Amino acid sequence: MHPISRPLLASVTAAVLALPASAQNVAVTFGTNWVAQAEHGGYYQAVADGTYAACGLDVTILPGGPQVNNRALMLAGQVDFNMGGSTLDTINAVIEGLPIVTVAATFQKDPQVIVTHPGAAASFADLAKLDKVLISDGGVTTFWAWMISAYGFKPEQREVYTFSAAPLIANPTWGMQGYLTSEPYFVEKETGWKPDAWLMADAGYDAYSTIIETMADTVANRPEVVQCFVDGSAIGWYNFLYGDNTKAVEMIKADNPEMSDEAIAFSIGALKEYGIVDSGDALTMGIGAMTDAHMDAFYASMVKAGVLPEGVDIRKGYTLQFVNKKVGLDLRPAE
């Protein structure tokens, strides 16, 4: 971690000044989808360095967890913004008739991976030759269905994943679902060997992930609040990834004391190395970018895989009103 340079600080100031200022001192609650971790770092950064406050928002981050449903709290009016899982959540909200709108896609790539022993496969397609793949019940009806459709995995290859790496460690010809920033780290810590991690996004699973959701009523009646939160989050992510993130890291550890500096550093490194946040359309339109073409392509792939029905008006589930404005682009270090 390094201090922000003067040119970078000047860019931060310019970006903050560009944020809408019509809303002042508005209390906003943002519910995350899991306990505090590096994958939430940009939001913590925007709180820590005053980026949200600069455009009038007093943001409280409400961590999620196994017994917490922040999306339900948002539907009940107790949370203003929610961290959704992926584009599937966006489309399913339309199918279920929920008045929820996706306003930004923080992760351009879904961090889902298949973890294997080193050298167990030569490519993502080669994973279809594994004896077994550990997949959770939730994964069966999402990315596993896509893997069967796109790469010819067999349903009988699936072994139930109970969120323990022990079966993978014991079987060199098996694979295991995981999160790029988590499972590979813990497998290496436990075994001493570095596993291979095959990113589904790089193999064609093009869901947006870690989306920002809010209620349709908020979009319609408080657009300046939505714009500030989306812009502030983008700037926060640039500064978390490329600037001095010390205060944000301390906030994460305060909310989740089990999170170590080593685990956070690993996660940040993985997010940057694989372009999870800052890649694709975000490179030209800014972090949080979304496009109709990207949404259409993902929806078509899910229909083909039998995950989603045909005929869904997916445009009802998201808006491009608040993204693609190049906010914070000047904060990215020169390559």
The per-residue pLDDT string of the chain (335 residues; one tens digit each, 9 = 90 and over) reads: 333 333 334 434 444 444 444 447 899 999 999 999 999 999 999 999 999 999 999 999 999 998 899 999 999 999 999 999 999 999 999 999 999 999 999 999 999 999 999 999 999 999 999 999 999 999 999 999 999 999 999 999 999 999 999 999 999 999 999 999 999 999 999 999 999 999 999 999 999 999 999 999 999 999 999 999 999 999 999 999 999 999 999 999 999 999 999 999 999 999 999 999 999 999 999 999 999 999 999 999 999 999 999 999 999 999 999 999 999 999 999 87
Look at residue 25 in the predicted model and tell me its pLDDT.
87
The Cα-based distances of 312 to 84, 215, 282, 318 in angstroms read: 19, 19, 26, 13
Task: Tokens for 203, please give them.
Answer: 């193999």
pTM across the whole model: 0.91
Tell me, letter by letter, the H, E, C secondary structure of 124-177.
Answer: CHHHHHCCEEEECHHHHCCHHHHHHHHHCCCHHHEEECCCCCHHHHHCCCEEEE
Task: Tokens for 327, please give them.
Answer: 């906010």
Residues β-bridged to residue 214: 81, 101
| CA–CA dist 61, 68 (Å, integer) | 13
Phi, psi of 185 (to 5 degrees): -65, -50
Look at residue 335 in the predicted model and tell me its pLDDT.
73
Task: Tokens for 161, please give them.
Answer: 């994943």
Taking a C-beta distance cutoff of 8 angstroms, is the pair 236, 42 a contact?
Answer: yes
Task: Tokens for 182, please give them.
Answer: 């988590």
Task: Tokens for 240, please give them.
Answer: 């978390």
Three-state DSSP class for 329? helix
Say which amino acid occupies 59. Answer: V
| CA–CA dist 270, 267 (Å, integer) | 5
CB neighbours of residue 217 within 10 Å: 11
Say which amino acid occupies 154. Answer: K
| CA–CA dist 106, 38 (Å, integer) | 13
Three-state DSSP class for 99? coil
Look at residue 203 in the predicted model and tell me its pLDDT.
98
Taking a C-beta distance cutoff of 8 angstroms, is the pair 103, 323 a contact?
Answer: yes
The Cα-based distances of 174 to 131, 161, 205, 323 in angstroms read: 6, 12, 21, 40
Q: What is the DSSP string of 198-244?
A: EEGGGGT----EEEEEEEHHHHHH-HHHHHHHHHHHHHHHHHHHHS-
Task: Tokens for 56, please give them.
Answer: 């009038």
Alpha carbon 207 to chain centroid, angstroms: 10
| Structural domains for the chain | 6-109+207-331 (3.40.190.10), 112-203 (3.40.190)
- The three-point CA angle 20-213-36 to 5° equals 95
